[in-house]
């Protein structure tokens, strides 16, 4: 078995900076956690907010705090700092090697998708963003760590792709299409979803778009090495 993570991230067209933050950290007892945050508005202000939320969640996860508690703490922190005036969506995807589960912890109005050989499941339960209301709680989905499981998570720039032309991007339909085409690695999922969204947006994204794929697959490589690749155009 192997875990594959693929992320692709573009900023709003003509905006200097994406307001989304994506960070990864190794879990202290094994496995990894990915934290995806979309800060309110765009540009520098949004980036500061998403950084703040991601950093809080990340530092707690790194200390072994469980995902739900880390999400609550990130909320409390933002709520306290900004007195309920600033919001962000927060999604944590964890591969937990202790419980042998894939864990999705979401404070987001957007559904996530779980793709398995027998079809696409929508995690439709939504939850309030962090920062706005006093007792905000995340929705948590826990899945067994089984090969051929692909989690698809994203920020609202993805469904908003095409909005300038009066259209929106149907994420579920796109995920179904990719599932039908039998894609088998995380990178292709992320690249295809991003390419379709950019086409919809005529390559000038109406909002920051971040796509995160976490896949549990049969082992594909021949060696035991863990690998990470990052590409960051300047």
Choosing from 14, 117, 135, 231, the residue that interacts with its own copies (CB under 8 A) is 231
- C-alpha to C-alpha distances, 70 to 23, 35, 210, nearest whole angstrom: 14, 11, 21
97 binds its own copies (CB under 8 A): yes
Three-state DSSP class for 60?
helix
Q: Are strands 31-39 and 20-26 parallel, antiparallel or unpaired?
A: antiparallel
Choosing from 65, 73, 121, 198, the residue that interacts with its own copies (CB under 8 A) is 198
CB of 51 to its own copies, least distance (A): 6
Q: What residues pair up with 96 in beta bridges, in sequence order?
A: 31, 101
5 binds its own copies (CB under 8 A): yes
Q: Which is nearer to its own copies, 10 or 104 (CB)?
A: 10
Q: Which is nearer to its own copies, 18 or 40 (CB)?
A: 18
The structure tokens listed for 199 are 């086409």
Count residues near its own copies (CB under 8 A).
49
The structure tokens listed for 119 are 């079809």
Q: Which is nearer to its own copies, 97 or 126 (CB)?
A: 97
- Which of 207, 215, 172 shows the shortest CA–CA distance to 193? 172
CB of 56 to its own copies, least distance (A): 10
- Which of 25, 20, 23 shows the shortest CA–CA distance to 37? 20
What is the C-alpha to C-alpha distance for residues 78 and 74, in angstroms, rounded to an integer? Answer: 6
Q: Where on the chain is the footprint of its own copies (CB under 8 A)?
A: 1-11, 17, 21-26, 28, 30, 32, 48, 51, 55, 58-59, 62-63, 95, 97, 186-187, 190, 194, 198, 219, 221, 223-234
């Amino acid at each position: 078995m192997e875990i594959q993570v693929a992320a692709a991230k573009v900023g709003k067209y003509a905006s200097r900076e994406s307001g989304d933050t994506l960070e990864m950290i190794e879990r202290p007892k094994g496995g990894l956690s990915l934290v995806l945050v979309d800060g309110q508005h765009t540009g520098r202000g949004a980036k500061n907010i998403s950084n703040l939320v991601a950093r809080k969640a990340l530092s707690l996860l790194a200390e072994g705090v469980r995902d739900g508690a880390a999400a609550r703490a990130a909320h409390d922190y933002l709520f306290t700092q900004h007195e309920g005036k600033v919001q962000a969506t927060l999604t944590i995807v964890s591969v937990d090697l202790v419980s042998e589960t894939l864990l999705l912890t979401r404070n987001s109005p957007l559904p996530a998708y779980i793709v398995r050989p027998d079809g696409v499941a929508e995690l439709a339960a939504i939850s309030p963003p962090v920062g706005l209301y006093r007792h905000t709680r995340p929705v948590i989905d826990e899945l067994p760590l089984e090969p051929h499981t692909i989690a698809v998570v994203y920020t609202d720039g993805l469904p908003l792709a095409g909005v300038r032309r009066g259209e929106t991007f149907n994420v579920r339909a796109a995920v179904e299409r990719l599932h039908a085409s039998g894609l088998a690695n995380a990178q292709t999922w992320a690249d295809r979803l991003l390419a379709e969204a950019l086409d919809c947006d005529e390559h000038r994204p109406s909002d920051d778009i971040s796509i995160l794929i976490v896949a549990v697959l049969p082992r594909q490589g021949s060696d035991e090495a863990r690998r990470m690749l990052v590409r960051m155009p300047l």
